[in-house]
Amino acid sequence: MNLNPVSDCEKLFILEAASQKIRLDGRKRDEYRPLKIEFGLDWGNCLVTLGCTRVFAQVSCEIYQPNNSRPNEGVLQISAELAGDDKLNDLTKINQVLERFYKDSKCIDLEALCIIAEEKVWKIKVDLSVLNMDGNTLGCCSIATLAALMHFRHPDVMSTGEKVIVYSSSERDPIPLSLHHHPVIVNFAIFEKYDFIILDPSLLEDKVCDNKLSICFNNHREMCGVDIEGCASLSQDLLMNCSNQAASMAIKLVDKIKSAIKIDIENRSSSKSVKGLEPAVSEDNGLKLCLSDKFNFIGPSNRENKIEETDEKMDVDQEVVKITDGTAFTTSHNNLQQIKDVKQNKQNDDLIVIDPESSESSSSDESVEVVSHYKLDDIRPVIGKYVVSDDENSDTGTIILD
C-alpha cells in the first residue's frame, strides 16, 4: 500500500524533466547528495544523513548458541524499521537485500566470533531506524550498516573450559570485528523511455522511474550482489555502465566511512571529550540548551532574546502580571538568596520569580517581584511564545512554554 502516492502533476513534471536530462534538485545524473556520518558515545552507534534521508544504526552483541549447520560460526542479523510506527511502511525488502548482500558476500569473519565450538558464539545484531525517507533509503541503510559494523567493538572473552569470562572495557580493550572487505550498495533510477539513468535518486524520482537498480560493490571493485526492481528491460551495456559507476562510487563511500571512523577514534584517544549525537540532533532541530548553573530559567534571560509582540488579544476577567521585553522569569522554592546573586550579575533585567510553595515570599530587592501565581483579570497581548493560560477548574493561571 502506497500511503504517499505521487500526483499526476508531479509525475508529468518529473518525466518532462527526465526527457530534458534534468534533475529537480539541479544535480548531475551521476552526482551524490551530501553525505554526513556521525558516531555516538557507544561503539557501533552511527547516524548517517544522505541529503534529507536519515538512518540511525546501532550494533549490539550477545552470547548465543550457534546453529547446528554451522557450529563454529557466529551469527549476523540485520533489521530495519521506520522510526515511530513500523506498520505504516513495509521495510521487508530492505531487510532482505541487506541480509543477502552482507551475509552472502561474507564480509564479516563469522568464525572469529566463535567462543566455544558448538556451544557459544557471538551474535551480532544491527538495528536500523529510518528517521526520514527522502529517496535512496536502501543506500543510506547500507552506509549506516557498514559504518556501524566497522565502528563496533565487542567485549573480550576468555574460556577456561568450564566457564566463559567476559571482560569489561575497563579491564580489557574491546575488540573490533574482523571484516574481510567493505561492501556498500549504490542505487540507480532508470527512465527507460528517455534513456536517462540517475545515481542516488530522490523520493519522487524513486517513485516515478521505470526501474530501480541496486548494485553492491566493495572497495576492491568486486561485485557482491545485484537487485533489480521494476518492469524495464536492461541491456548489457547499461548494466556495465552502471557497474563501473557503482564501483567507483563504492570506493569513495568506503573512504569517507574510514575517514569518519579515524577522526572519531582520534577524538576518543585524545583529551577531547566525545559529545556523541546530541549536538548534531540539537543543531538540526534548532535547539540551544543553555541553562543557568544556579537554577533553570524558563523565560528570556537577557535583552539579546528579543520577543516580538503580536496583534492577537485574549479577553479574560482577572489581572495579569505583565511580562515585558528583557524580563527574566523563573521558578524558585524560597531560595531568594540565589536569585539575588543572579540579579546582581544581570543588572539590566527585571526579574519575576514564581514561587508556587509560598505566597508570602518577599525580597529586599525592589526590582525582583515574587508572586505565587498569575491572576488573569485584564485584556493583555500574547507576548511571543510565552503564554499565560486559563485553568477551567481554578481562578489562577500558569505560564507555559509553547
Q: Spell 232-245 as b/e; 16+ CB within 10 A means b.
A: beeeeebeeebbeb
Per-residue pLDDT of the chain (402 residues), as tens digits, is 355 678 889 889 999 998 898 998 889 999 999 999 999 988 999 999 999 999 999 999 999 888 888 889 999 999 998 876 544 456 888 999 999 999 888 899 999 999 888 888 999 999 999 999 898 999 999 999 999 999 999 999 888 877 888 888 888 889 999 999 999 999 999 988 888 899 999 999 988 888 899 999 999 999 999 998 876 677 888 889 999 999 999 999 999 999 999 999 988 888 666 666 765 655 555 444 433 333 344 444 444 444 444 444 444 333 344 544 444 444 444 444 444 454 455 444 444 544 444 444 444 445 445 444 444 443 333 333 333 434 444 444 444 333
Residue 234: how many CA atoms within 13 Å on its side-chain side? 22
**Residues in CB range of 281: below 8 A, 6 or more apart:** 47, 287
131 with 280: CB under 8 angstroms?
A: no
328 with 295: CB under 8 angstroms?
A: no
Model pLDDT, residue 54: 94
Give which of 54, 24, 25, 121 is closest to 281, Cα–Cα.
54
Distance from C-alpha of 320 to C-alpha of 373, rounded to nearest angstrom: 10
- Residue whose C-alpha cell is 538540526: 284
Model pLDDT, residue 3: 55
